[in-house]
Amino acid sequence: MSSAKYIFITGGVTSSLGKGIISASLAKLLQARGYSVTIQKLDPYINVDPGTLNPYEHGECYVTEDGAETDLDLGHYERFLNTPTSQANNITTGRIYQSVIEKERRGDYLGETVQVIPHITDEIKYRIKLLNNDGKFDFIITEIGGTVGDIESLPYIEAVRQMRWEMGSDCLVVHLTLVPYLAAAGELKTKPTQHSVKMLLELGVQPDVLVCRTERHLTETHRNKIALFCNVEPTSVIESIDTDTIYRVPLLMKEENLDTIVLYKMNMPEKQEPDLRVWEEFLYRLKHPTSEVNIGIVGKYAELKDAYKSISESFIHAGSLHQCKVNIQMIHSEYIEASNVSEKLSGFDGILVAPGFGERGIEGKITAVKYARENKVPFLGICLGMQCAVIEFARNVLGFKDAHSTEMNPRTTHPVIDIMEAQKKISCKGGTMRLGTYPCDIAEGSRAFDVYKTKSIFERHRHRYEFNNKFLENFKNAGMIASGINPKDSLVEIMEIPSHPWFIGVQFHPEYHSTVAKSHPLFAEFVKASMENKK
Ligand code: GLN
């Protein structure tokens, strides 16, 4: 199937150490040396995908080009590598068991007792190797979700053990741990790392490289101690110090020689020094802003850092492009009302209304749109945000007082947003939305055309409702136009108000498409309009 090299990233001690960022940073360094690399995430939960999880459980759901609803780490992978991922890049325990059970029912294992070992572990190994089916990758980096010792991740660790046994130096295990600083003792503590490596050893896996997350620098003594107790060379004990931005991590990992150690251990040539010119330029511009702008993000998960991850990262990319410090602030839509909207939103140079589902906070979002429209504040509405812009315009400009989306009010007399025809007969909720990349044609002369500078684009989607084309003429006559339309089924993809300084709503999700190497034009232009508004 493949001659790729397999690198596994496991985590110990605690969650949230940044396995995703370490995986993406190592991948970036290998890519910058001229290797082709992809990253995969194995998630130990039983949901078939995170599409049915709410952001309180799991942060943002990231959508790939091929329409997979995936873990938000895939967003980091794409933003770092500037290459697309796919369904195969995110596997859950639910998906593994689903396919094993389907095979059992089909009779593929006739006569056998179906067991965790070998059937589940075989399926895991198959899914890992499947990524290199067409042989285009030199390295497959597989991040194992969860923390070593969790019951849920045992089959994954066992699959790693088997692959190492079968493939020798074509496999490598990088274990990420925490080296906490105890203020009372005034020192860094290596014991949690020793324990977590012991736990991995009990499962038959000897890590090759340890990446130690820490808030203080490790000394030679720390490294030697960890090396001795964990059976790794001192040079394979890598420090991962807390830093100001995730985008600095690849450079920190380069200083620690993570890439050269990995290459050496896998008998692979170093090729060239990593070409990180674009990356360093990005970081320089990010860290040396010459202006500043305040953007308000209106959503119902305002307290959750990860709920709008791709949106906040897209603003970082756009900020670096303009060498502008983009301060984003989340505003809870549930608490926005006509009486306080100006107090809540007047400090912002631009307003974004976020994607979402369901009734909660919807009226606050609509009130925020009205404020942006009437006060000529640059506005970007994404998915539900675009739908709110349509509802607001229908109510307050067209005078359709009870206009709504049938998602929130099935009995509205003016269903300006309605369920898509193809969605009407769907009752299962998992993986059944309009998902993934679809084409959109842009009207020449529109603001959207100014932004994209092309007539035909492709963007990713995740929705069940759409603009109701019955009302297209009413909107157009009153000053809100559909400037982007799907060429095949006439689904409205972009709405804008030409008489407003900058007012765009998009049915798709541009945030899934912004990377370090290429800031998304909608975010770039929205930030620019907000900078101009500030002046
Ligand atoms: N709830 C809306 C729909 O399903 C919008 C979805 C979204 O914002 N991703 O169409």
pLDDT in tens, 521-532: 999 999 999 999
For atom 3 of ligand 1, the residue with the nearest CA is 463
Whole-number Å distance, alpha carbon 114 to ligand 1 midpoint, is: 40
Question: Which pLDDT score, from 0 to 100, does residue 16 have?
Answer: 84
pLDDT band of 15, cuts 50, 70, 90: confident
Q: Is the pLDDT of residue 117 over 90?
A: yes
350 beta partners: 295
Tens of pLDDT along 185-237?
Answer: 999 999 999 999 999 999 999 999 999 999 999 999 999 999 999 999 999 99
Place of tokens 């709110």: 388
For atom 5 of ligand 1, the residue with the nearest CA is 384
327 beta partners: 294
Whole-number Å distance, alpha carbon 53 to ligand 1 midpoint, is: 15
Beta carbons within 10 angstroms of residue 276's beta carbon: 18
Whole-number Å distance, alpha carbon 390 to ligand 1 midpoint, is: 13
Whole-number Å distance, alpha carbon 444 to ligand 1 midpoint, is: 27
Question: Which pLDDT score, from 0 to 100, does residue 1 have?
Answer: 46
pLDDT band of 55, cuts 50, 70, 90: confident
For atom 8 of ligand 1, the residue with the nearest CA is 355
Average pLDDT value over all residues in the chain: 96
Window from 12-16, 365-369, 500-504 with minimum mean pLDDT? 12-16
Whole-number Å distance, alpha carbon 97 to ligand 1 midpoint, is: 29
Question: Which pLDDT score, from 0 to 100, does residue 57 have?
Answer: 81
Q: Which backbone phi and psi does 237 adopt, to 5 degrees? A: -95, 110
User: CB of 407 closer than 6 A to ligand 1?
Assistant: yes
- Strand ranges for 113-241 from DSSP E: 139-144, 171-178, 181-182, 187-188, 209-214, 237-241
Q: Is the pLDDT of residue 167 over 60?
A: yes
Pocket mutation for ligand 1, best pick of 383, 409, 420 (most atoms within 8 Å of C-beta): 383
User: CB of 467 closer than 6 A to ligand 1?
Assistant: no
Determine which one of 61, 171, 230, 383 is catalytic: 383
User: CB of 465 closer than 6 A to ligand 1?
Assistant: yes
493 beta partners: none
Contact 196, 149 (CB under 8 A): yes
Q: Which atom of ligand 1 is nearest to the CA of 382?
A: 8
Q: Which atom of ligand 1 is nearest to the CA of 358?
A: 1
The rounded percent of the chain whose pLDDT value lies above 90 is 93
Cα–Cα nearest to 380, from 349, 403, 359, 405: 349
Beta carbons within 10 angstroms of residue 16's beta carbon: 10
Mean pLDDT of all residues in 52-57: 86
Contact 53, 92 (CB under 8 A): no
User: CB of 259 closer than 6 A to ligand 1?
Assistant: no
User: CB of 384 closer than 6 A to ligand 1?
Assistant: yes
Question: Which pLDDT score, from 0 to 100, does residue 58 have?
Answer: 83
* Measured distance CA(514)–CA(316) in Å, rounded: 10
Q: Is the pLDDT of residue 335 over 50?
A: yes
Q: Which atom of ligand 1 is nearest to the CA of 407?
A: 1
The rounded percent of the chain whose pLDDT value lies above 70 is 100
pTM of the model: 0.95
Determine which one of 119, 317, 500, 509 is catalytic: 509
User: CB of 461 closer than 6 A to ligand 1?
Assistant: no
User: Could you tell me whether strands 181-182 and 187-188 are parallel, antiparallel, or unpaired per DSSP bridges?
Assistant: antiparallel
- The secondary structure element, H or E, covering residue 381 is strand 379-382
Helices marked H in 4-47 — which ranges? 19-32
405 beta partners: 417
User: CB of 276 closer than 6 A to ligand 1?
Assistant: no
Whole-number Å distance, alpha carbon 463 to ligand 1 midpoint, is: 4
Q: Which atom of ligand 1 is nearest to the CA of 355?
A: 8
For atom 1 of ligand 1, the residue with the nearest CA is 357
Cα–Cα nearest to 166, from 398, 1, 388: 1
Whole-number Å distance, alpha carbon 435 to ligand 1 midpoint, is: 11
User: What is the SS3 assignment for 294?
Assistant: strand
Number of H helices, E strands in the chain: 18, 23
Determine which one of 256, 392, 493, 511 is catalytic: 511
Pocket mutation for ligand 1, best pick of 300, 407, 460, 507 (most atoms within 8 Å of C-beta): 407
CA distances for 467 relative to 134, 180, 416, 491, 503, angstroms: 40, 52, 6, 7, 17
Whole-number Å distance, alpha carbon 421 to ligand 1 midpoint, is: 15
Q: Give the dihedral of Cα atoms 305, 311, 295, 303; nearest 10 deg.
A: -20
User: CB of 355 closer than 6 A to ligand 1?
Assistant: yes
Tens of pLDDT along 374-422?
Answer: 999 999 999 999 999 999 999 999 999 999 999 999 999 999 999 999 9
pLDDT band of 43, cuts 50, 70, 90: very high
Q: Which atom of ligand 1 is nearest to the CA of 433?
A: 4
User: CB of 140 closer than 6 A to ligand 1?
Assistant: no
Mean pLDDT of all residues in 442-463: 97
* Measured distance CA(31)–CA(78) in Å, rounded: 12
Pocket mutation for ligand 1, best pick of 311, 357, 432 (most atoms within 8 Å of C-beta): 357
Active site residue 383: yes
Question: Which pLDDT score, from 0 to 100, does residue 25 have?
Answer: 98
Cα–Cα nearest to 126, from 115, 136, 138, 118: 118
Whole-number Å distance, alpha carbon 61 to ligand 1 midpoint, is: 13
Whole-number Å distance, alpha carbon 82 to ligand 1 midpoint, is: 26
Active site residue 509: yes
